[in-house]
Amino acid sequence: MTNSSAVEIVEVAPRDGFQAIKPFIPTETKISACKALIEAGFKRLEVGAFVSPKAIPQLADTAEVHAALAEQAVARSVRLSTLVPNTTGGRRALDAGISDLVFVLSASEAHNQSNVRRSVAASLEDLRELADVGRDVQGFRLRVNIATVFDCPFEGRTPEAAVRHIVERVLEMGIPVEFGLCDTTGRAFPDHVGSLCGELVQHYASERSVGWAFHGHDTFGLGLANALSAYAGGIRIFDAAAAGLGGCPFAPGASGNTATEDLVFTFGNMNIPTDLDLDKLLDAATAMETLPGAQTGGHVRGLPRARICA
Ligand code: COA
Ligand code: ZN
């Protein structure tokens, strides 16, 4: 990514999307879905999670999915990441040969308890331990997803101080990091997204080993508007899920991620390069619609192809 206006989209349907689907998706189907996304040109894919299989049974086969894709990913310079909720998950992922990790914790105490069953301070302790382990691992890359950055389903609007507190504690760990600013509930509003993203990006602009991503949900129909506000605030990395799948099972009322095809369609028509093939992405997204139990979202997928991929 050399063009400063260009964006990088991280496809998260295989993790955030599939975790919201109850009937178990056969491992082979997951692998095919990921391959179709790689065909569409994604250079980053979140392929699953090393979470408790009791909490999210759907993602119990993440190691197999990752292993089946690893060779193709290396050949095509695609990064395959996995979400981890604690040190145990991080160690399991590293043992499975996965070094591109997404550690999740929440800015709000109540959601952190609901999601990962520990305090924010305890999650930060877990992360510190994982960072210490990761330091010696070749190819270790760390994304820290801060959930409920803007809004918590239990506590309402999140104070910005809670977000800054986490950012500061993580930076003290002295390890290169990309922060994912997550609108877990989809109840953030564009003014808030734009101002907080802008402040954080600017405040830490001199930190060379810090990156920023925006992870939005479309629950209230604001996913795209929020992504564009994040872009205006300086964010250039976006998480999105094909077919608008997604949703945190531990955030009541939260629904799908902003649909990747909507983001790609919009950025493309604003002359913001994404390096993705929208036609192939629409094929991959349309295939996901047929997964039993899938609740899809988004807009452009249902429209005539000639009007989308002009
Ligand atoms: N992966 C697999 N097993 C794990 C694990 C992990 N990351 N972390 C803990 N465990 C196991 C422990 O080994 C223990 O097993 P045992 O009962 O056989 O001894 C058991 O789970 C309980 O361990 P504990 O540390 O007490 O965990 P918990 O029950 O408090 O659950 C989490 C904590 C984080 C593991 C669980 O809440 C979880 O996986 N949440 C998923 C969060 C998520 O993915 N949310 C959506 C995305 S944001
Ligand atoms: Zn999410």
Residue nearest to atom 32 of ligand 1 (CA): 116
The tokens for 109 are: 């105490």
Beta carbons within 8 Å of 46's beta carbon, 6+ residues apart: 10, 11, 12, 14, 15, 16, 81, 82, 83, 102, 239
Q: Is the CB of 251 under 6 A from ligand 1?
A: no
For this structure, is 248 an active site residue?
yes
Backbone angles phi, psi at 159, to 5 degrees: -65, 140
Q: Which residue has the tokens 């990156």?
A: 211
Q: Quote the CA–CA distance of 184 and 188 in Å, as a whole number.
A: 9
Cα separation of the two ends of the chain: 24
Nearest to 181 by CA among 156, 148, 151: 148
Q: Is the CB of 122 under 6 A from ligand 1?
A: no
Backbone angles phi, psi at 59, to 5 degrees: -100, 20
Q: Is the CB of 115 under 6 A from ligand 1?
A: yes
Q: Which residues pair with 9 in a beta bridge?
A: 238
pLDDT digits (tens, 9 = 90+) for 108-149: 999 999 999 999 999 999 999 999 999 999 999 999 999 999
Which amino acid, residue 85?
A: P
Residue nearest to atom 30 of ligand 1 (CA): 117
Amino acid 75: pLDDT: 97
Q: What is the domain partition of the chain in residue ranges?
A: 8-308
Instruction: Give the number of the atom of ligand 1 that is nearest the alpha carbon of residue 182.
Output: 48
pTM above 0.95, yes or no: yes
State in Å: Cα 183 to ligand 2 middle. 7
If one residue of 21, 52, 83, 255 were mutated to test the ligand 1 pocket, choosing by the most ligand atoms within 8 A of its CB, it would be: 52
* CA atoms within 13 A of residue 224's CA, in its CB half-sphere: 15
Q: Is the CB of 113 under 6 A from ligand 1?
A: no
> How far lies 171's CA from each of 17, 81, 207, 209, 248, in Å?
29, 21, 9, 10, 26
Residue nearest to atom 15 of ligand 1 (CA): 52
Question: Which parts of the chain register pLDDT below 70?
Answer: 1-2
The hierarchical CATH code for the domain 8-308 is 3.20.20.70
Backbone angles phi, psi at 44, to 5 degrees: -140, 135
Residue nearest to atom 7 of ligand 1 (CA): 89
Q: Quote the CA–CA distance of 24 and 19 in Å, as a whole number.
A: 10
Amino acid 310: pLDDT: 73
Contact 247, 255 (CB under 8 A): yes
Q: Is the CB of 51 under 6 A from ligand 1?
A: yes
Helices 278-289, 27-39: axis angle to 10 degrees equals 160
Count of Cβ atoms closer than 10 Å to residue 15 Cβ: 29
Q: Is the CB of 50 under 6 A from ligand 1?
A: yes
* Choice among 152, 182, 248, 309 that is catalytic: 248
State in Å: Cα 57 to ligand 1 middle. 11
Beta carbons within 8 Å of 13's beta carbon, 6+ residues apart: 33, 37, 241, 242, 243, 245, 246, 257, 260, 288
